[in-house]
């Protein structure tokens, strides 16, 4: 195992993994990255609903707010490529249109954003996934002093290693709890859903939470709304995939994983 791989695998939280990946990419002249995965995209098309995505980025906040927050990614040619391909695509395919007036309002806003934020050289990566309706990809943007041809040369030499470490980032981040800013459930909604997957009845959940059944129903309804789900079962599935809740630890699992305090260490 190389030193960088060890650093990735040693990360126990979202922010430290982002920092390690940023340091790794910087040695190749890559200044910023934008990663997104949507494991449950089927309901809203391949790109999915924004609230169902896990996003990590070192892009400037103003760019991210417009590109992701305003949904401009949906009309981005690179994004369209990523939703139907696997592998890597150079940004040499980004050719500004000659007539912006012929575009839709969202497309005009996208090209204006690219011009204002000096989007230049880069690559887009799309990762292979087991589920055909899921998606995961990463955009890599080079420093302003690096041309696309220069970055293409870097990729010719180091592309295999870069792609492997980007995919390692993807695998690591999907195994970590979501960062606090990505949580869409309140503590009480989270607690109610976790009691549901523990197999509790509504009466049991109400007793465990110290509230009435009507209040439990309110929390579950709020969780469904927050997760854009029609049923509680669907909300549970989404919350598990998005790391908003976690499976309960059974008594047997707890006993198996707990250290034996009676065990004596012998020198």
Residue 16 has a pLDDT of 93
Token readout for 115 is 């011009």
pLDDT digit string, tens, across residues 50-107: 556 778 889 888 888 888 878 888 888 888 888 788 899 999 887 778 888 888 888 9
Residue 39 has a pLDDT of 63
Q: What is the mean pLDDT of residues 19-29?
A: 96
Residue 28 · residue 39 · CB < 8 Å: no
Which range among 45-54, 92-101, 215-224, 253-262 shows the weakest confidence by mean pLDDT? 253-262
Q: What is the mean pLDDT of residues 195-214?
A: 93
pLDDT digit string, tens, across residues 162-192: 999 999 999 898 888 766 556 678 889 999 9
Residue 267 has a pLDDT of 36
Residue 119 · residue 19 · CB < 8 Å: no
Closest CA to 4 of 29, 31, 27: 27
Structure letter (DSSP) for residue 68: I
Residue 154 · residue 28 · CB < 8 Å: yes
Q: Which domains does the chain have, with CATH numbers?
A: 3-173 (3.30.450.80), 185-246 (1.10.10.10)
């Amino acid at each position: 195992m190389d030193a960088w791989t060890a650093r990735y695998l040693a990360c126990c939280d979202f922010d430290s993994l982002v920092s390690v990946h940023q340091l790794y990419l910087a040695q190749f002249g890559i200044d910023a990255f934008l990663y997104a995965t949507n494991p449950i995209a089927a309901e809203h098309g391949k790109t999915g609903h924004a609230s169902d995505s896990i996003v990590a980025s070192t892009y400037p906040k103003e760019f991210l707010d417009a590109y992701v927050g305003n949904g401009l990614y949906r009309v981005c040619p690179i994004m369209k490529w990523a939703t139907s391909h696997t592998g890597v695509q150079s940004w040499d395919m980004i050719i500004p249109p000659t007539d912006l007036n012929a575009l839709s309002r969202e497309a005009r806003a996208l090209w204006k954003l690219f011009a204002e934020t000096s989007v230049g050289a880069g690559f887009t990566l799309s990762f292979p996934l087991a589920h055909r309706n899921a998606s995961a990809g990463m955009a890599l943007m080079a420093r302003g002093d690096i041309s696309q041809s220069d970055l293409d040369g870097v990729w010719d030499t180091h592309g295999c290693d870069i792609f492997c470490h980007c995919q390692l980032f993807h695998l690591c981040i999907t195994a970590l709890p979501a960062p606090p800013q990505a949580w869409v459930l309140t503590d009480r909604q989270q607690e109610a859903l976790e009691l549901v997957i523990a197999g509790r009845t509504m009466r049991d959940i109400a007793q465990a939470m110290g509230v009435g059944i009507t209040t439990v129903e309110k929390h579950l309804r709020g969780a469904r709304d927050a997760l854009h789900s029609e049923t509680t079962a669907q909300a549970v599935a989404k919350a598990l995939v998005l790391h908003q809740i976690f499976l309960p630890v059974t008594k047997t699992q707890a006993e198996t994983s707990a250290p034996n305090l009676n065990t004596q260490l012998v020198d």
